[in-house]
Amino acid sequence: MSTIQRRGKTIFKVYTNQDIEHVEQYLEEKGLDYSYKNYAFYIDAPECSDKTFQYYYTTGRWGVLYNRKNTKRMHYCCKDIETLVTKYIFKEREDDA
What's the helix, strand, coil split of the chain in %, to 5? 25, 30, 40
Other Cβ atoms within 10 Å of 41 Cβ, number: 22
**b/e map of 1-32 (b: 16 or more CB within 10 Å)?**
eeeeeeeeeeeeeeebebeeeebeebbeebeb
Residue 79 vs residues 49, 65, 82: alpha-carbon distances, Å: 26, 20, 8
State residue 47's pLDDT score. 83
Rounded CA-CA distance 5/57 in Å is: 21
State pTM to two decimals: 0.80
One digit per residue, pLDDT tens: the chain, 97 residues?
556 565 666 666 778 889 999 999 999 999 999 999 989 999 998 888 888 999 999 988 999 998 877 777 788 888 899 999 999 888 765 555 5
